[in-house]
Amino acid sequence: MCKASVLALPNFSKEFTLETDASSKGIEVVLSQDGRPLAYLSKALGPKHTDLSIYEKEYLAILMTATKWRHYFEGRSFVIKTDHEPLKHLLEQKLTTTVQKKGLTKLLGLDFVIKYRKGKSNLVGDALSRAYDPEAELLQLTATLITPTWVSDIESSYISNALAQKLITALAIDNNFVYEWTYTKRILRYKTRVYVADHGPLRAHLINTLDDSPVGGHSGIQATYQRLRSYFYWPGLKSAVTTYVQSCDIL
């Protein structure tokens, strides 16, 4: 029986860390806080990028995540860790390659420090060791749903949401009062799916988890949408997934 790690939710009062790694086959990145992974990104490189230097591949990894996870970084400082030492001086170097020149605009406005990490990160190594496994996917989703952190954040999403408050008030009196909605253990459900109100980064994090992480594996719009709608509900879910997935690829 395989055991899946539970991805943590972000704490915006703490510093974010990106750990990157590149090889001849592709790039790997882990977003973490206090050593706890929040999301993974793993991508094979297309033909036009396989001949790039390790420096350029690691730089691409930074650019991809600066774009994909920008909503985590804006307005706060974060750390990038790489095992490719020349990248420490990225911001001081002349822009001589096409990759550098195209990528500069994606880093503008972000406050980060690049630190050299000798050897591979355990977190990145963990990401590299993962392969898609349906049983692992089910275990991770199940574990995620019962993690107290997730429950707390979903509950918090209801506090300032008018629809959620109306439903909770009605269903607290009679749990059959609103057709196809239930409210049990402080969680709203629509047709058995957990309702996620529009609250900060929670919806984006759910999409991220089921698209970017080992659970999702960049499986595309339809597969990511089907995974999400099996467990969660909010108006405009498919549109949100479409927008997110289409904005992912910068290579």
Residue 127 and residue 124: Cα distance in Å, rounded?
A: 5
Domains delineated in the chain: 16-129 (3.30.420.10), 134-246 (1.10.340)
How many CA atoms, within 13 angstroms, populate the side-chain half-sphere of residue 204?
13
Asked if residues 13 and 106 have their Cβ atoms less than 8 Å apart, the reply is no
30: Cα separation from own chain's centroid: 9
Q: What is the mean pLDDT of residues 103-121?
A: 76
Read off the DSSP letter of residue 7: P
pLDDT in tens, 41-89: 777 777 777 778 877 888 888 888 887 788 788 888 999 988 877 776 6
> 132 pLDDT exceeds 50?
no
Tens-place pLDDT, residues 139-190: 444 444 444 456 778 888 899 899 999 999 999 888 788 889 999 878 899 9
Q: How many CA atoms lie within 13 A of 120 on its CB side?
A: 14
Do you know the residue count of the chain?
A: 251
Q: How confident is the model at residue 94 (pLDDT cuts 50, 70, 90)?
A: low
The tokens describing 51, both together, are 């001949």
Angle at 116 between CA 68 and CA 62, to 5 degrees: 15
